[in-house]
Protein backbone atom coordinates (compact mmCIF):
# COMPACT_ATOMS: atom_id res chain seq x y z
CA UNK A 1 0.00 0.00 0.00
CA UNK A 2 1.16 3.53 -0.72
CA UNK A 3 1.85 5.89 2.17
CA UNK A 4 -0.10 9.06 2.19
CA UNK A 5 1.17 12.25 3.82
CA UNK A 6 -1.57 14.76 4.33
CA UNK A 7 -0.84 18.33 3.24
CA UNK A 8 -0.03 20.61 6.12
CA UNK A 9 -2.72 23.22 6.29
CA UNK A 10 -1.32 26.72 5.98
CA UNK A 11 -2.94 28.98 8.47
CA UNK A 12 -3.62 32.60 7.87
CA UNK A 13 -1.31 33.33 10.78
CA UNK A 14 1.63 31.60 9.00
CA UNK A 15 1.02 33.55 5.80
CA UNK A 16 0.82 36.82 7.72
CA UNK A 17 4.09 36.02 9.51
CA UNK A 18 5.86 35.29 6.21
CA UNK A 19 4.58 38.53 4.69
CA UNK A 20 5.67 40.46 7.77
CA UNK A 21 9.19 38.97 7.61
CA UNK A 22 9.43 39.76 3.90
CA UNK A 23 8.33 43.37 4.49
CA UNK A 24 10.82 43.77 7.36
CA UNK A 25 13.62 42.50 5.13
CA UNK A 26 12.66 44.94 2.36
CA UNK A 27 12.55 47.85 4.82
CA UNK A 28 15.98 46.92 6.20
CA UNK A 29 17.39 47.00 2.66
CA UNK A 30 15.80 50.38 2.01
CA UNK A 31 17.17 51.74 5.30
CA UNK A 32 20.69 50.60 4.33
CA UNK A 33 20.36 52.25 0.91
CA UNK A 34 19.30 55.52 2.54
CA UNK A 35 22.12 55.23 5.09
CA UNK A 36 24.62 54.80 2.25
CA UNK A 37 23.25 57.88 0.42
CA UNK A 38 23.53 60.12 3.47
CA UNK A 39 27.32 59.79 3.80
CA UNK A 40 27.72 60.40 0.06
CA UNK A 41 25.78 63.66 0.24
CA UNK A 42 27.79 64.78 3.28
CA UNK A 43 31.07 63.88 1.58
CA UNK A 44 30.07 65.73 -1.60
CA UNK A 45 29.44 68.86 0.48
CA UNK A 46 32.78 68.47 2.30
CA UNK A 47 34.66 68.03 -0.98
CA UNK A 48 32.90 71.05 -2.51
CA UNK A 49 34.01 73.16 0.46
CA UNK A 50 37.60 71.90 0.07
CA UNK A 51 37.59 72.69 -3.65
CA UNK A 52 36.57 76.26 -2.87
CA UNK A 53 34.95 78.88 -5.06
CA UNK A 54 37.90 79.38 -7.44
CA UNK A 55 38.11 75.71 -8.42
CA UNK A 56 35.80 74.16 -11.03
CA UNK A 57 34.86 70.49 -10.51
CA UNK A 58 35.92 68.60 -13.65
CA UNK A 59 33.53 65.67 -13.18
CA UNK A 60 36.11 63.18 -11.97
CA UNK A 61 35.06 61.79 -8.61
CA UNK A 62 35.46 58.57 -6.71
CA UNK A 63 33.27 57.27 -3.86
CA UNK A 64 34.00 54.03 -2.05
CA UNK A 65 33.22 52.16 1.15
CA UNK A 66 36.51 51.06 2.73
CA UNK A 67 37.81 49.46 5.88
CA UNK A 68 41.12 50.33 7.49
CA UNK A 69 43.95 48.86 5.43
CA UNK A 70 41.86 48.22 2.30
CA UNK A 71 43.26 49.88 -0.81
CA UNK A 72 41.27 51.19 -3.78
CA UNK A 73 42.47 52.67 -7.07
CA UNK A 74 41.04 54.89 -9.76
CA UNK A 75 42.28 56.30 -13.04
CA UNK A 76 42.36 60.08 -13.49
CA UNK A 77 43.17 62.27 -16.50
CA UNK A 78 44.90 65.63 -16.14
CA UNK A 79 45.36 68.10 -19.01
CA UNK A 80 48.53 70.06 -19.72
CA UNK A 81 48.91 73.52 -18.25
CA UNK A 82 46.02 73.42 -15.78
CA UNK A 83 46.31 73.66 -12.01
CA UNK A 84 44.35 70.87 -10.34
CA UNK A 85 43.11 70.22 -6.83
CA UNK A 86 42.37 66.80 -5.37
CA UNK A 87 39.89 67.07 -2.48
CA UNK A 88 39.30 64.13 -0.12
CA UNK A 89 36.69 63.60 2.56
CA UNK A 90 35.80 60.72 4.86
CA UNK A 91 32.58 59.87 6.66
CA UNK A 92 34.13 59.78 10.15
CA UNK A 93 36.74 62.01 11.79
CA UNK A 94 38.54 59.00 13.30
CA UNK A 95 40.24 58.14 9.98
CA UNK A 96 42.35 59.88 7.35
CA UNK A 97 42.76 59.21 3.64
CA UNK A 98 46.26 58.17 2.59
CA UNK A 99 46.81 58.58 -1.13
CA UNK A 100 49.51 58.09 -3.73
CA UNK A 101 49.46 59.37 -7.31
CA UNK A 102 51.32 57.28 -9.90
CA UNK A 103 52.15 57.91 -13.55
CA UNK A 104 51.58 55.26 -16.25
CA UNK A 105 54.86 53.52 -15.33
CA UNK A 106 53.81 53.33 -11.63
CA UNK A 107 56.40 55.96 -10.75
CA UNK A 108 55.28 57.82 -7.60
CA UNK A 109 54.37 61.43 -8.36
CA UNK A 110 53.04 62.30 -4.90
CA UNK A 111 52.55 60.54 -1.56
CA UNK A 112 50.33 62.15 1.05
CA UNK A 113 52.09 60.42 3.96
CA UNK A 114 55.08 62.71 3.54
CA UNK A 115 52.85 65.76 4.03
CA UNK A 116 50.59 64.66 6.90
CA UNK A 117 47.82 63.26 4.66
CA UNK A 118 46.27 66.63 3.73
CA UNK A 119 42.59 66.70 2.79
CA UNK A 120 43.47 68.51 -0.46
CA UNK A 121 46.47 68.94 -2.72
CA UNK A 122 47.15 71.34 -5.62
CA UNK A 123 49.41 70.54 -8.55
CA UNK A 124 50.02 71.24 -12.25
CA UNK A 125 50.93 68.96 -15.14
CA UNK A 126 53.17 70.08 -18.02
CA UNK A 127 51.76 67.39 -20.32
CA UNK A 128 48.37 65.71 -20.52
CA UNK A 129 48.60 62.59 -18.37
CA UNK A 130 46.48 59.68 -17.23
CA UNK A 131 47.46 58.67 -13.72
CA UNK A 132 46.47 56.10 -11.13
CA UNK A 133 45.43 57.26 -7.69
CA UNK A 134 45.68 54.69 -4.91
CA UNK A 135 43.96 55.44 -1.62
CA UNK A 136 43.37 53.78 1.71
CA UNK A 137 42.19 54.74 5.17
CA UNK A 138 44.30 54.92 8.32
CA UNK A 139 43.24 55.39 11.91
CA UNK A 140 43.94 58.73 13.59
CA UNK A 141 45.02 57.25 16.89
CA UNK A 142 42.91 54.56 18.50
CA UNK A 143 42.06 51.36 16.59
CA UNK A 144 39.04 51.63 14.31
CA UNK A 145 36.82 48.85 12.98
CA UNK A 146 34.05 48.85 10.43
CA UNK A 147 33.34 50.51 7.13
CA UNK A 148 34.01 54.17 6.43
CA UNK A 149 33.19 56.04 3.24
CA UNK A 150 35.75 58.04 1.31
CA UNK A 151 35.28 60.46 -1.55
CA UNK A 152 37.64 62.16 -3.97
CA UNK A 153 36.66 65.05 -6.21
CA UNK A 154 38.94 66.62 -8.78
CA UNK A 155 38.75 70.26 -9.78
CA UNK A 156 40.82 72.68 -11.81
CA UNK A 157 41.54 76.38 -11.67
CA UNK A 158 40.58 78.13 -14.91
CA UNK A 159 43.67 79.59 -16.58
CA UNK A 160 44.33 83.27 -15.96
CA UNK A 161 46.12 85.71 -18.21
CA UNK A 162 49.23 85.21 -16.07
CA UNK A 163 49.06 81.45 -16.79
CA UNK A 164 49.06 82.03 -20.55
CA UNK A 165 52.02 84.43 -20.61
| Per-residue confidence band for 31, with pLDDT thresholds at 50, 70 and 90 | very low
| Residue range 39-157, CATH number | 2.60.120.380
Q: Which of 23-32, 115-124, 137-146 has the lowest mean pLDDT?
A: 23-32
The answer to whether 59 and 74 are in contact (CB under 8 A) is: no
* CB proximity list for 110: less than 8 A, separation 6 or greater: 100, 101, 121, 123
The reported pLDDT for the residue numbered 30 is 39
The reported pLDDT for the residue numbered 161 is 64
pTM of the model: 0.69
Neighbours of 89 (CB within 10 A): 23
Confidence check: pLDDT of 52 > 50:
yes
Amino acid sequence: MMAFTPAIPVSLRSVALLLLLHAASALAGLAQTLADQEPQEQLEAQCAALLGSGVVPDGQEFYRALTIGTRAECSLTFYAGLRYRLAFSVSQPDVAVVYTLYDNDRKVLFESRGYGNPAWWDFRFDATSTCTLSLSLVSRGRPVAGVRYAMLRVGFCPPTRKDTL
